């Protein structure tokens, strides 16, 4: 028996709480999407999308723990890697003569 | 299986999972507020690299504690380490790109951007 099946109160298990946490993260991600849409400069948008990507990684990990599907963690690792690569690449190529690194 | 029928170790583990999850949501909320409300790119890079890294760290710690001792929690630890290294690096690169792009830092009295 996994710890995600432990009932806390009122019939809700730890897995249910983790799912609710993932839903909360989705709501917070929607808030950050505001900056990605409005953000006056290119760098604002890159930063907002980077934070959104970090949120997505946490959401994937929480879903993997709640639904007892450890495969989701592999997807989360690949997503974190691509997220970092995106931030570095876009901030490199938005500067004249390719700066940053 | 109800919480009061558990052995103390499992009950403490469940409590710690809940506390870590609440911390993750709180710090990500702080990060979201900063990303929306702070006046310019540099201030936003600050909150995005610090509060969000802490929030993600708490969330992944809760996941690792839920999974327990198995191969998948090693992946969670790797993910945690990777986010701790790359998130501030990405924020630094973005802030530096903003500066080399000619973005003047906000000072008191300027209008918000």
Contact status, residue A70 vs residue B103, Cβ threshold 8 Å: no
Q: What is the mean pLDDT of each run of 10 residues along chain A (101 residues)?
A: 74 88 94 88 90 94 90 93 91 70 51
Chain A contact present for B109, CB below 8 A = no
pTM, full prediction? 0.89
pLDDT tens digit sequence for B77-93: 999 999 999 999 999 99
Q: In the structure, what pLDDT confidence band is assigned to residue B99 with cuts at 50, 70 and 90?
A: confident
pLDDT tens digit sequence for B26-45: 999 999 999 999 888 899 99
Higher pLDDT, B13 or B24: B24
Token pair listed for B104: 């003047």
Contact status, residue B59 vs residue A25, Cβ threshold 8 Å: yes
Chain A contact present for B9, CB below 8 A = no
Q: In this structure, what is the dihedral angle of CA atoms A33, A39, A44, A46, given to the nearest 10 degrees? A: 50
Q: pLDDT value at position A8?
A: 77
Q: Which of B86, B17, B50 has the alpha carbon at shortest distance from A53?
A: B86
Q: In the structure, what pLDDT confidence band is assigned to residue B4 with cuts at 50, 70 and 90?
A: low
Q: pLDDT value at position B79?
A: 92
Q: In whole numbers, what is the pLDDT of chain B averaged over residues? A: 88
Q: Residue B36 is nearest to which of A25, A31, A80, comparing CB atoms?
A: A31
Q: pLDDT value at position B7?
A: 81
């Amino acid at each position: 028996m996994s710890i995600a099946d432990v009932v806390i109160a009122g019939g809700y298990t730890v897995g249910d709480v983790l799912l609710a946490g993932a839903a909360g993260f989705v709501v917070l991600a929607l808030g950050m999407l505001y900056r990605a849409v409005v953000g006056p400069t290119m760098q604002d948008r890159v930063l907002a999308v980077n934070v959104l990507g970090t949120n997505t990684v946490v959401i994937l990990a929480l879903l993997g723990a709640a639904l007892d599907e450890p495969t989701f963690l592999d997807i989360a690792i690949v997503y974190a890697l691509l997220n970092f690569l995106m931030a570095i690449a876009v901030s490199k190529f938005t500067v004249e003569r390719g700066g940053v690194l | 299986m109800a919480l009061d029928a558990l052995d103390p170790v499992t009950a403490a583990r469940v409590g710690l999972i809940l506390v870590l999850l609440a911390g993750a949501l709180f710090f990500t909320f702080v990060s979201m507020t900063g990303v929306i409300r702070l006046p310019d790119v540099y201030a936003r890079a600050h909150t995005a690299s610090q509060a969000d890294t802490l929030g993600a760290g708490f969330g992944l710690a809760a996941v690792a504690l839920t999974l327990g001792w198995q191969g998948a929690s090693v992946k969670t630890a790797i993910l945690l380490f990777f986010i701790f290294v790359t998130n501030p690096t990405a924020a630094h690169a973005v802030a530096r790109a903003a500066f080399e792009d000619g973005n003047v830092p906000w000072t008191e009295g300027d209008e918000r951007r």
